[in-house]
Amino acid sequence: MHHENTPAGEAVPTTIGDYRLLREIGSGAQGKVWLATDPVGRRVALKRLRPDRRDGASRREEEALALCREIRDHAHLLQIYHVGVHEGSVYYSMELADSWTEPTDDYEPVTLASYMAREGPLTPELARVIMLEVLEGLRTLHSHGLLHRDVKPSNILRVQRRWKLADLGLMAREEPDVSLLGTIEYIPPDGLMDRTTDLYACGKVLYCLATGLPAKAYPSLPAVLTSGDTPGARPLVGFINRACALHASSRFQSVSEFAATLRDLPLTDTGGWTRRRTLAAAGLGVAVAAPLAAAAWSWLKPRTRPSAWRDLFNGHDLSGWYVDDPIHGEWYVEAGKIRCRRTPDYKLLTSHEHLAPGTLRVAIVTDHPGARMGVRYASDQPGKGHLFMLMGDKYTWIRGSRIFHPPEEPGNWYSFPGMIPNPGECVTLEVEWGPRLHELRVNGVTLYTLPPTAAGGYITLDVWSHDSGAFESVQYLKGMA
């Protein structure tokens, strides 16, 4: 019997309790996992905790095993068969995941992580089917007042072709002082540890399923979701952004809400951009998103009063705007749009008017693939204000000048997924900021919620070096007092 993970000189056990060990299939800081057979010949996975490790992690795993007794067999939770003590160390047997290989002696478990590694990005529909199975297991934990605290693809196993939530070693009761534990890429940035944390992790898992990327890559999107050719990509991206929102109040609050909204997403249409289908908001000439199912997208309803919008561009000339330095490009008006020439310069057009916190709505049209352009606001603060822009194949928010806010520091540079327009098509960037709300939207769809800011200031229209495009309209709505 081969035990490649057993250190030289350490005795290799052949039995633990009433279980016969076949081969070692996993090893970690807290113990080893074996492929084994139970007294009636059933193949199981058996984990033995290290007898020489009586630290906090070992105690947490033993406490989690005790909590498992409160949960009966569930179709989407890995079943714990037996917990015992052997030669002073705790062991437990559990369901055996399906194997990638045959015969079973060459056992390689089918985890969601290994499934994604083999299959690559999944279709939105298949990603939904898998996630709904996982949510049923999580629903059972939450109904018992328990948190999983480590939902991630490697902790989701396929057992007899069902996906099951596994590795309950960090499971704990949901209490106000519960410890913040888990895998960093799946923990929300607000550091909250409650059931919304498990749901945030589910959002990250869904992101991994749909993109084939690791969780730390969020919110970047591959071309498979931005080309407009993948059915269901647009609503699924919006759903993921809500599930992974910065603030807990903006995320899903229960498994039922998460599952119901996911189940109702319209994933049969591409919802993509086409040259012949650019809808215009009444009287504004601004592209808007394709119609979405009301039940799934009711949380995206506009918060502003259209009648109160004020035009900052008159459609005829650059009255109210100026170029502060010749190196910031050549700007002009053509066919009712603000334009700049495609030069190596970084191009800036600045407003004469100082604007208080409120909402900016800017309709942009790129001239070529990969163009980078957007709007800068709240310039009274250090760093010359925030920048929200279309950045080639994604949308990006930049806190300000890299001198004040280096891009490598967390929180200074965010990128977001979203459907990318073709050259010549219009897309609407909208930012609402103030002391109570700071939110980024594209075509009415919320991309992200940021910490509030009360800074006002002049605004600028920004176009990156070697890029060009047009601004069809620039509108402003003053914030509520």
In a domain, 420, yes or no: yes
In a domain, 106, yes or no: no
Residues 117 and 144 in one domain: yes
Residues 299 and 446 in one domain: yes
Residues 403 and 365 in one domain: yes
pLDDT in tens, the chain (481 residues): 444 445 444 556 789 989 999 988 887 667 789 899 999 999 999 988 876 555 555 566 666 676 676 676 778 988 888 888 888 788 888 899 998 886 555 788 899 999 999 998 999 999 999 999 999 999 999 998 888 889 999 999 999 999 999 887 777 887 777 777 888 899 988 778 889 999 999 999 999 999 999 998 887 778 777 666 788 888 898 899 889 987 788 889 999 999 999 999 988 754 333 322 222 222 223 222 322 223 233 333 334 444 588 999 999 999 999 998 888 999 999 999 999 999 999 999 999 999 999 999 999 999 999 999 999 998 887 768 899 999 988 899 998 887 777 777 777 888 877 778 889 999 999 999 998 889 898 888 778 888 888 899 999 999 999 999 999 999 999 986 5
Residues 327 and 259 in one domain: no
Give me the half-sphere count of Cα atoms (radius 13 Å) on the Cβ side of residue 304: 22
In a domain, 149, yes or no: yes
Residue 201 main-chain phi, psi, to 5 deg: -60, -40
Continuous segment of H or E residues that includes residue 390: strand 386-391
- The CATH number linked to 391 is 2.60.120.560
pLDDT of amino acid 29: 61
**Residue in this structure with the two tokens 């279309």, named with its chain if needed:** 390
Q: Give how many domains the chain has, as a whole number.
A: 3
- Which residues form the domain of 246? 112-263
In a domain, 143, yes or no: yes
* Listed residues 263, 282, 303: the one ending a domain: 263
pLDDT of amino acid 103: 52
- The CATH number linked to 158 is 1.10.510.10
**Residue in this structure with the two tokens 């790129």, named with its chain if needed:** 366
Cβ pair 250, 449 in contact under 8 A? yes
Residues 224 and 301 in one domain: no
| Cα-Cα-Cα-Cα dihedral sign, residues 277, 283, 285, 291 | negative
Burial class (CB in 10 A: 0-12, 13-18, 19+), 155: buried
Residues 191 and 220 in one domain: yes
Residues 30 and 156 in one domain: no
Full-model pTM: 0.59
Residues 313 and 442 in one domain: yes
Residues 257 and 379 in one domain: no
The percent of residues above 90 in pLDDT, for the chain, comes to 43
Rounded CA-CA distance 210/122 in Å is: 5
Rounded CA-CA distance 31/52 in Å is: 10
* Listed residues 74, 97, 120: the one ending a domain: 97
In a domain, 3, yes or no: no
Tell me how many degrees the CA angle 120-126-128 measures, rounded to the nearest 5: 115
Residues 317 and 459 in one domain: yes
- In this predicted model, what pLDDT tens digit does every residue of 197-243 receive, in sequence order? 999 999 999 999 999 999 988 877 787 776 667 888 888 988 998 89
In a domain, 474, yes or no: yes
Instruction: List, in sequence order, every residue forming a beta bridge with 20; answer none if it has no partner.
Output: 15, 37
Residues 345 and 444 in one domain: yes
Helix axis angle, 124-143 relative to 255-263, nearest 10°? 160
In a domain, 52, yes or no: yes
- In this predicted model, what pLDDT tens digit does every residue of 99-145 receive, in sequence order? 888 655 578 889 999 999 999 899 999 999 999 999 999 999 999 88
In a domain, 208, yes or no: yes
Residues 231 and 329 in one domain: no
* Listed residues 34, 63, 97: the one ending a domain: 97
- The CATH number linked to 20 is 3.30.200.20
